[in-house]
């Protein structure tokens, strides 16, 4: 993609009431399958893999991982082999997300939780390299140094598209936030909304990804840890209703695991006067709408109330 991803201005009564200007960077529209931050994070990983003659990529994820879904498709597109190390049991291979990854040619290797916890240790990674020579290993969520370079391009695009004060993003493994901090280079406030519980460690993930330079070089970022709504992929009926209403008013689809938690945080922050009047906010839509399919399959959402985008149905 050489064009910039679309930036849309959102209308909402709350924004009017609090005199806020809110825009959304629709990275979810970049590609129907490799959508949002996945596209950004994989861009330079794929380039590196091709340029260095690797035969494929190994990466890690849960049974409904957006990253695994996008990676499988990207590898197919680039004629690369793909191995997904998946936390969980083999029957997950038939679920909404992994059945597609498998169909696109990814080999799925299911491991128990204890093994999965070793995914970043030197010994485990060496073992994988020996077992699968010629594969490049990408960490969970795709968050490595190459990913940051791709994410940083969002900031360069935004600088051409608009003027703003604060950029909001959901935070899982912190690769996206770290890339934004690096790309923004202290021009704006970068606010990360943690989607998991007990995430005090995330600030250190950012420090690790930015080589510990982050505190010396960048002072414009913060992670809010209290908007997880009970934990990863958890949400209350009230939150779902708020999110549906927000989508109906703005016309933008969200899912409640990542981008939805950012929206719920935004709405709360507005009502506690976190943003002064005339503040200009940009929301990063990180994609992940395929995740709705998994939530519907697990009966956490009703298909009639959470329509899957056409691109996700057609795969």
Ligand X SMILES: Cc1ncc(COP(=O)(O)O)c(C=O)c1O
List residues binding ligand X (CB under 6 A). 36-37, 66-67, 141, 143, 170-177, 258, 286-288
> Could you tell me the smallest distance in angstroms from the CB atom of residue 282 to ligand X?
15
Smallest separation (angstroms) from ligand X to the CB of 131: 25
| Separation CA 302–CA 141 (nearest Å) | 27
Q: Which residue, among 96, 28, 110, has the nearest Cα to 61 in the 3D structure?
A: 110
Q: Which C-beta is closer to ligand X: that of 143 or that of 250?
A: 143
Cβ at position 275, least distance to ligand X in Å:
22
Pair 304, 191: CB distance under 8 Å = no
15 contacts: CB under 8 Å, gap ≥ 6:
21, 22, 270
Give 88 or 175: the residue with its C-beta nearer to ligand X.
Answer: 175
H/E element, 57 = strand 56-61
Distance CA 184, CA 170 (A): 16
Output 18 or 284, the one with its CB closest to ligand X: 284
Helix 175-184 with 202-209: angle, nearest 10 deg: 60
Shortest CB 159 distance to ligand X, Å? 21
Shortest distance, CB of residue 245 to ligand X, whole angstroms? Answer: 21
Helix or strand holding residue 233 (H, E): none
Specify the 3-state DSSP secondary structure of 27.
helix
Question: Minimal distance in Å, beta carbon 294 to ligand X?
Answer: 12
| CA 206 from centre of chain | 15
Min dist CB 87 to ligand X, Å, is 14
Q: Three-state DSSP class for 117? A: coil
Q: What is the DSSP letter of 140?
A: G
Smaller CB separation from ligand X, 174 or 233: 174
Least CB distance from residue 63 to ligand X, whole Å? 14
- Return the closest-CA partner of residue 7 out of 154, 136, 145: 154
Instruction: Please compute, for residue 240, the number of CA atoms within 13 A of its CA located in the half-sphere on the CB side.
Output: 12
Residue 20 φ then ψ, to 5°: -115, 145
Contact 164, 281 (CB under 8 A): yes
**Nearer to ligand X (CB atom), residue 18 or residue 176:** 176
Residue (18 or 39) nearer to ligand X, CB? 39
Nearest to 246 by CA among 14, 25, 29: 14
Kindly tell me which of 88 and 256 has the beta carbon lying closer to ligand X.
256
Q: Which is nearer to ligand X, 21 or 153 (CB)?
A: 153
């Amino acid at each position: 993609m050489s064009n910039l991803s679309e930036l849309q201005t959102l209308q909402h009564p709350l924004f009017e009431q609090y005199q806020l200007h809110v825009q959304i960077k629709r990275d979810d529209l970049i590609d129907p399958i490799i959508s949002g931050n996945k596209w950004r994070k994989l861009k330079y990983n794929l380039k590196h893999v091709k340029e260095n003659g690797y035969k494929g990529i190994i990466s890690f994820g849960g049974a409904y991982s957006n990253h695994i879904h996008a990676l499988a498709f990207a590898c197919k597109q680039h004629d690369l082999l793909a191995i997904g190390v998946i936390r969980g049991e083999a029957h997950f291979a038939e679920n909404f997300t992994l059945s597609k990854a498998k169909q696109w040619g990814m080999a799925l290797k299911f491991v128990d939780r204890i093994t999965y916890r070793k995914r970043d240790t030197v010994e485990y990674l060496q073992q994988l390299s020996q077992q699968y020579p010629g594969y490049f290993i990408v960490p969970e969520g795709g968050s490595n140094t190459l990913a940051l370079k791709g994410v940083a391009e969002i900031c360069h695009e935004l600088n051409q598209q608009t003027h703003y004060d604060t950029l909001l993003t959901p935070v899982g493994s912190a690769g996206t936030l770290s890339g934004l901090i690096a790309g923004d280079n202290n021009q704006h406030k970068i606010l990360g909304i943690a989607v998991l519980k007990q995430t005090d460690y995330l600030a250190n993930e950012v420090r690790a990804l930015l080589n510990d330079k982050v505190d010396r070089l960048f002072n414009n970022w913060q992670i809010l840890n209290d908007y997880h709504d009970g934990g990863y992929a958890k949400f209350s009926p009230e939150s779902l209703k708020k999110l549906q209403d927000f989508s109906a008013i703005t016309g933008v689809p969200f899912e409640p695991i990542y981008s939805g938690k950012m929206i719920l945080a935004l709405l709360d922050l507005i009502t506690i006067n976190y943003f002064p009047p005339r503040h200009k906010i940009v929301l990063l839509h990180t994609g992940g709408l395929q995740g709705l399919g998994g939530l519907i399959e697990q009966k956490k959402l009703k298909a009639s109330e959470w329509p899957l985008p056409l691109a996700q149905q057609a795969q």
